[in-house]
Chain A
Amino acid sequence: GPKVLQIPSHQIIDMGQMVTLNCDPVSNHLYFYWYKQILGQQMEFLVNFYNGKVMEKSKLFKDQFSVERPDGSYFTLKIQPTALEDSAVYFCASSLVRVNTEVFFGKGTRLTVV
């Protein structure tokens, strides 16, 4: 079936540095999402993105976070600067339309901030 690919699967970064998480969504999908999962807890919605704009974001989407998808390439989540509490697994997801549709998830990028 359709796949959402996330690169890399694991990234370790020093606190205060910038990190970019990459997501290759399903090719014809138009809506993109990021979720955060702290170890042992549930996935939590961060943001969704459509037509070059953030549609909605949660309180977890701090000012240090940004998303973009330049020219139909990777959908990215950038954290600058990183903090220890940003350590988590970040899941990218995409869907073709906004409602009455299946949302496809990637396998996640485990981010460790040291």
Chain B
Amino acid sequence: AQKVTQTQTSISVVEKTTVTMDCVYETRDSSYFLFWYKQTASGEIVFLIRQDSYKKENATVGHYSLNFQKPKSSIGLIITATQIEDSAVYFCAMSPTNYNQGKLIFGQGTKLSIKP
């Protein structure tokens, strides 16, 4: 069965530091996409970054980067130079096939709190 697991329920860090959020997934598909989204306090769900399973290099967008460890089925999100506005719930997600990318399997979410 396909599954995405985020074991960290909540994380709290001081502003301007680096934070890493963990995510592991299960799939039998040979090709898949991995995503990170954040849900803000207002409820808005924002796409952050994506990793294609066939790419070895880790994706980077702005101050978001990924630590993709395919043998471990792991896709960690790294946020550098955190800001107060990064406080949100972060969801890891997987699209198990490459034909319907909108069918996402989500993890349980990690609540990130950034303190001044």
Contacts and interface: CB of A to CB of B under 8 A. Distances in A.
Interface of A: 31, 33, 35, 41-45, 48, 55-56, 91, 93, 95, 98-105, 107-108
Given A43-B106, A102-B47, A55 B91 contact: no
Contact of A99 (B43, B100, B105, B106): B100
B43 A103 contact: no
Interface in B19-60: 37, 42-45, 47
A105 B46 CA distance: 7
A103 B98 contact: no
Given A42-B107, A42-B108, A95 B91 contact: no
Given A43-B91, A102-B47, A105-B45, A95 B107 contact: no
Given A42-B91, A43-B106, A44-B106, A98 B47 contact: no
Contacts of B47: 102-104
A103 B101 contact: yes
B107 A56 contact: no
Interface of B: 4, 37, 42-45, 47, 91, 98-109
Contact of B101 (A43, A44, A91, A101): A101
Contact of B42 (A31, A33, A42, A107): A107
Given A48-B100, A98-B100, A103-B101, A108 B106 contact: no
Q: Looking at chain A's contact residues, is the secondary structure mostly helix, strand, loop, or mixed? A: strand
A56 B103 contact: yes
B91 A99 contact: no
B45 to A, nearest CB: 4
Nearest to A110: B43
Contact of A98 (B43, B91, B99): B99
Residue among A33, A44, A45 with max Cβ neighbours from chain B (10 Å): A45
Contacts of B107: 42
Contacts of B100: 48, 55-56, 98-99
Contacts of A55: 100
